Structure 1
Amino acid sequence: MQVFMIGSGPFDEAYFKQYVEDVMDNKHGEAVYVGIDLGAKRFVEMDETMVFALGDFDSVSETDYQHIVDNANDVIRLNPMKDETDMQAGLNWVIDHYPNAEYHLLGALGGRVDHSLCNLWMIFMPEYQRVLEHIHLIHPKNWVNFLSPGQFQVNKVSEMTYLSFILMTPVQELTLTDVVYPLDRATYRYPMALISNEFLANHTQMSGSFKTGLIAVIQSRD
């Protein structure tokens, strides 16, 4: 199951459609759409039916809200005064309803810095630990995935240039192979941004490992 969520951040409709097509060409299962606040309006504008729409909808008109209701199987309208963001509430819903899915979040990066940081830091919440490697934050210039301790592989996104490892916690014994700047069991006692690495020429995959910590992998381009 591939769950595509659109939030209220910067959004490129053409990029989204191509991304969904590429994912579904390479993955098995059904695609389902979930609109988060303004993201629900974006699905309406694309004439796509959502399985679920959620938000306080303070960024859409009442007319737009009625169109959202007409284009979603289920809608929850939240009180604007709440303890979690619309994106967090939406992610909680999809994890409950599709516990074994891949979660693709668009419109989650590139706008307000506090919103982007919130969408990055929410990975520390206990309810997301089981699925953190299945959460993907997607932006036309930045793809973010998360790694938990152990061995890992990263496949190159063809349109991206740079490969960065954002150590969101202290990390022990980080090894990176098949990259321009390799590491061999390096330990960092505090969070660190290891940016602007690259895949080796003619390589479409790299591998590595680490013993403890949490890492965000970002593939990006200028």
Structure 2
Amino acid sequence: MDYKRIVIFTGGLLAKEFIQEIQTDDIVIAADRGALYLIEHGIKPHIAVGDFDSISEAEREIVSNNSGKFVACDPVHKDLTDTEMAFETALDHEPTHILIFGATGTRMDHTLANVHIMVRAMQHHISCALQDEHNYMMLTTSSAVVETRGYTYVSLLPLTHEVTGICLEGFMYPLDQATIRMGQSLGISNKLLGESGTVTIDSGLLLIIQSKD
């Protein structure tokens, strides 16, 4: 399969610089307010999905008229969040990578649900990342290359009871066959020594969070 990236803009915290991250060949999917945000910044999403209960009727009309495809659902009788609707739509296009903007914000329940969406992507053998102004998040069950991307810290958190065989190369605080269990802070606030570093693990599911204040 050729490389195919889908960029999702959803209704959490968004910033203008995210617009510059969109590449020519990307498929752009927007969820709810994320669609309006894109259109207000001169980008027409290929697909807009959601219940659109966070925007006015006039704004909804703007989104409908400026999206390649507009898919609306009832805000009460639905089982998926708007972000998951966008994610499911992305899966239909069989991408190799999904990058999600606006997946974090003041609602911790939505933020955690969106982190869990990356697990779903991994089950489909699709790499996935969440990005906001202060964080870049991804998962691994084997190995991952971490690039600076302008972030200061790199933290490792287990999404399973434990993650074993953790080895770090290119980091200020190296690890060799380490184990991190839920509730432990061993992997918090590491730093890269150069432009990139490598994380490898033997078992478990590891959340890698790059962050800056």
Mapping for residues 174-189 of structure 1, pairs under 5 Å: 174-189=166-181
The residue type paired with residue 19 of structure 2 is K
The residue type paired with residue 209 of structure 1 is T
The residue type paired with residue 132 of structure 2 is H
User: SS in structure 1 opposite 2:78?
Assistant: coil
For the residues of structure 2 that align with 1:115 and 1:138, how far apart are their CA atoms?
Answer: 14
Mapping for residues 135-146 of structure 1, pairs under 5 Å: 135-146=128-139
- Aligned residue among 33, 54, 57 for 1:59: 54
Mapping for residues 97-176 of structure 1, pairs under 5 Å: 97=93, 99-125=94-120, 128-132=122-126, 134-149=127-142, 151-157=143-149, 159-169=150-160, 170-176=162-168
For the residues of structure 2 that align with 1:184 and 1:83, how far apart are their CA atoms?
Answer: 43
Distance 1:62 1:148, change over 3 A: same
Name the counterpart of 1:95. Answer: 91
User: SS in structure 2 opposite 1:93?
Assistant: helix
The residue type paired with residue 8 of structure 2 is M
1:197 aligns with 2:204: no
RMSD: 1.8
For the residues of structure 2 that align with 1:197 and 1:62, how far apart are their CA atoms?
Answer: 46
- Aligned residue among 171, 192, 208 for 2:199: 208
The residue type paired with residue 18 of structure 2 is F
For the residues of structure 2 that align with 1:67 and 1:44, how far apart are their CA atoms?
Answer: 8
Displacement of 1:109 after TM fit?
1.1
Name the counterpart of 1:218. Answer: 209
For the residues of structure 1 that align with 2:82 and 2:163, how far apart are their CA atoms?
Answer: 31
Query: What stretches of structure 2 of length at least 5 have no aligned partner?
Result: none
Normalised by the length of structure 1, the TM-score is 0.86
Name the counterpart of 2:42. Answer: 47
Identity of aligned residues (%): 28
Give the count of matched residue pairs.
207
For the residues of structure 2 that align with 1:163 and 1:116, how far apart are their CA atoms?
Answer: 19
User: SS in structure 2 opposite 1:196?
Assistant: coil
Normalised by the length of structure 2, the TM-score is 0.89
